[in-house]
Amino acid sequence: MKDHARVVIIGGGMMGAGLLYHLAIEGWTDSLLIEKGELTSGSTWHAAGQCPSVAGSYNLAKIHAYGIELYPKLEELTGQYVSWHGCGGIRLAFTDEEVDWFRHVNGTRDLIGFDVDVIGPNEIKNLIPHLDVTNVKAGAYTKDDGHVDPAGACNALAAGAKQMGAEIVRHTLVTDVKSLPSGEWQVVTENGTVTCEHVVNAAGCYARKVAHWSGTDVPITNMLHQYFVTEPIKEFVESDTEIPVIRDPSASAYYRQEQKSGLIGIYETAPEWAEEAWGDVGGAPEWQSENELFDGSFDKSMNHLEQVLERMPIWANAGIKRIVHGAIPHTPDANPLLGPAAGLKNYWMCNGSSIGIAQGAGCGKYLAQWMVHGAAEINMAEFDPRRFGTWTDEDYVRSKSFEDYNRMYACPLPGEELDTGRPKRTTPLYEKLKNKGCIYTAAFGWERPKWFSLDGRDEHYAYRRNNVFETVRDECLAVRERVGILDLSSFAKYEVSGINAEMFLNRITANRMPRKDGGIVLTHILNANGRIENEFTVTRLSDNHFYLLSGAACELRDFDLLNQRKDADEQVEIKNITDDYGVLVLAGPRSRDVLRTLTQTDLSNDSFKWLSGQSIDVAGITLRALRINYVGELGWELHVPMDQLAEVYDAIWSAGEHHGIADFGVYAVNSLRMEKAYKGFAAELTNEITMIESDMERFVNFGKGDFTGKEALLERQNNDLDLKLVYADVNADDCDVRGGEAVYKGGRPIGITTSGGYGHITKKSLAFAYVEPAFANTGDTFEIEILGDHRTAIVLSDPAWDPTNERMRG
Ligand X SMILES: Cc1cc2nc3c(=O)[nH]c(=O)nc-3n(C[C@H](O)[C@H](O)[C@H](O)COP(=O)(O)OP(=O)(O)OC[C@H]3O[C@@H](n4cnc5c(N)ncnc54)[C@H](O)[C@@H]3O)c2cc1C
Query: In the complex, which residues of this chain contact ligand X (CB under 6 A)?
Result: 10-16, 34-37, 41-44, 46-50, 173-174, 202-206, 210, 225-227, 324, 326-328, 351, 353-358
Give me the least distance between CB of 184 and ligand X, in Å please. Answer: 19
* Closest to ligand X by CB, 297 or 441: 297
CB atoms within 10 A of CB 563: 13
Q: What is the DSSP letter of 634?
A: S
In the complex, least distance from residue 14 CB atom to ligand X, rounded to whole angstroms: 4
Q: Which is nearer to ligand X, 301 or 353 (CB)?
A: 353
Paired residues of 637 in beta bridges: 585, 626
- Confirm if 640 and 649 have CB atoms less than 8 A apart: no
Closest CA to 793 of 724, 723, 742, 734: 742
Query: Cα–chain-centroid distance for residue 441?
Result: 15
Q: Quick one: 13 or 582, whose CB is closer to ligand X?
A: 13
The nearest distance, CB 63 to ligand X, in angstroms, is 11
Q: Write down the least CB distance from residue 40 to ligand X, Å.
A: 6
Q: Measuring CA to CA, which residue among 428, 436, 378, 382 is closest to residue 581?
A: 428
560 vs 566: CA distance, rounded Å: 10
Which one, 48 or 677, has the nearer CB to ligand X?
Answer: 48
Residue 768 β-bridge partners: 727, 755
Whole-angstrom Cα distance, residue 669 to residue 650? 22
Looking at the Cβ atoms of 172 and 250, the one nearer to ligand X is 172
What is the closest distance, in whole angstroms, from the C-beta atom of residue 487 to ligand X in the complex? Answer: 39
Least separation in angstroms between CB 207 and ligand X: 8
Which DSSP symbol is given to 186? E
Least gap, CB of 193 to ligand X (angstroms): 13
> Least distance to ligand X from the beta carbon of 701, Å?
44
Residue 108 vs 353, nearer CB to ligand X: 353
DSSP letter (8 states) at residue 690:
B
Cβ-based nearer residue to ligand X, 89 or 680: 89
Please, how many CA atoms are within 13 Å of residue 462, restricted to the half-sphere of its CB? 16
Query: Which are the contacts of 307, defined by CB distance < 8 A and separation ≥ 6?
Result: 248, 250, 251, 253
Cβ nearer to ligand X, comparing 356 with 385: 356
For 703-758, the DSSP string reads GG---TTHHHHHHHHHS--S-EEEEEEE--SS----S--EEEETTEEEEEEEEEEE
Q: Are 338 and 366 in contact (CB under 8 A)?
A: yes
User: At its nearest, how many Å lie between ligand X and the CB of residue 379?
Assistant: 22
Residue 355 CB, shortest distance to ligand X, in Å, is 4
CA distance 478 to 292: 60
C-beta of 324 vs 538, nearer to ligand X: 324
What Å distances lie between residue 174 and 11, 343, 350, 633, CA to CA? 9, 22, 16, 57
CB-based contact 154:17 (threshold 8 Å)? yes
Nearer to ligand X, 283 or 641 (CB): 283
Beta carbons of 530 and 708 less than 8 angstroms apart: no
Instruction: Kindly state the smallest distance separating residue 12's Cβ from ligand X, in Å.
Output: 5
Residue 398 three-state SS? helix
Q: Which is nearer to ligand X, 322 or 460 (CB)?
A: 322
Where are the strands (E) in 202-313, listed by range? 221-230, 245-248, 253-258, 261-266, 277-278
Cβ atoms of 58 and 120 within 8 Å: the answer is no
- Give me the least distance between CB of 410 and ligand X, in Å please: 18
Task: Give the distance, in angstroms, between the CA of residue 12 and the centroid of all CA atoms in the same chain.
Answer: 26
Nearer to ligand X, 61 or 645 (CB): 61
Calpha distance 250→483 (Å, rounded)? 47
CB of 171 to ligand X, least distance (A): 9
Residue 323 or 372: the one with the smaller Cβ distance to ligand X is 323
- Report the C-alpha gap between 165 and 159 in whole angstroms: 10
**Rounded CA separation 718/716 (Å):** 5
Nearer to ligand X, 80 or 597 (CB): 80
Contact call for residues 483 and 591 (beta carbons, < 8 A):
yes
Element holding 89 (H helix, E strand):
strand 89-93
> Nearest distance from residue 55's CB to ligand X, in Å?
11
The three-state secondary structure class of 804 is coil
Q: Which is closer to ligand X, CB of 158 or CB of 584? A: 158
- Nearer CB in complex with ligand X: 188/712: 188
Nearer to ligand X, 34 or 743 (CB): 34
C-alpha to C-alpha distance for 636 and 612, rounded to whole angstroms? 10
Q: Least distance (Å) from ligand X to the CB of residue 401?
A: 13
Q: How far is the CB of 159 from ligand X (least distance, A)?
A: 16
Question: What are the DSSP calls for 33-65, one per residue?
Answer: EE-SSSTTTTTTTT---EE-S--SSHHHHHHHH
3-state secondary structure (DSSP) of residue 28: coil
Q: 3-state SS of 483-552?
A: CEEEECCCCEEEEEECCCHHHHHHHHECCCCCCCCCEEEEEEEECCCCEEEEEEEEEEEECCEEEEEECH
Minimal distance in Å, beta carbon 252 to ligand X? 14
